[in-house]
Structure 1
Amino acid sequence: MRTGSEPTTARSALRMRLWLSLWGLAWAVFGTAAFAVVGRPGWAAACGVLWLVITVDVVVVVRHLRQGPHYQPGRDVPPYRPPERRPW
């Protein structure tokens, strides 16, 4: 149920997702290079695919961060009315 304080107390996890993605990106790049040097093309390809997925995720997160906060109703918008109980 909505209390009316959600817009002021809501927090985004985008910055944490960005840092975790960057950490994963570093490991994917390292894994791709390491497996390519050792001669494991299958594992290098798997790390390369993971590298691509993480890069797309970083681009999406950065795009969302640059968009800024979206509209949230202010304090003048009352909370939703509680659901009415229906007698069965």
Structure 2
Amino acid sequence: MRSGNEPATARSPLRMRLVLGVWGLLWAAGGTVAFALVGRTGWAVACGVLFLVVVVDVVMVVRHIRQGPHYQPGRDVPPYEPDRE
């Protein structure tokens, strides 16, 4: 059941996004290098663009982590208001 206040009580898994972003950085960088070495310029450019997108995402995630906690309900607070029935 949706209560309508989900944006106010939403939680963001920033550490998981950071780990997945770093994993993506490794794969995109490896793909760029590998495709460049075998002469597949188009694929190397595509991986390079993906690398840049992931870099921007990782920078934004690190920025949000460094901003510190904003209001975050504790683990005992459900992400929605319980049904009052």
TM-score (ref. length: structure 2): 0.72
Q: 1:29-48 residue pairs with structure 2 within 5 A? A: 29-48=29-48
Partner of 2:53: 53
Q: Which has the larger radius of gyration?
A: 1
Moved over 2 A (4+): none
TM-score, normalized by length of structure 1?
A: 0.69
- Structure 2: which 5+ residue stretches go unaligned? 74-80
Q: Distance in 2 between matches of 1:70 and 1:42?
A: 43
The Cα shift of 1:69 comes to 1.0
Q: CA RMSD in A?
A: 2.5
1:24-82 alpha-carbon deviations (Å, 9 max, x no partner): 10000000000000000000000000000000000000000000111358xxxxxx9xx
User: Larger deviation: 10-19 or 28-37?
Assistant: 10-19
Name the structure 1 match of 2:28: 28
Equivalent residues in 2 for 1:1-88 (5 A)? 1=3, 11-71=11-71
Take 2:12 and 2:30, find their aligned partners in 1: how far apart are those partners? 29
Aligned residues: 70
| Structure 1: runs of 5+ lacking an equivalent | 74-79, 81-88
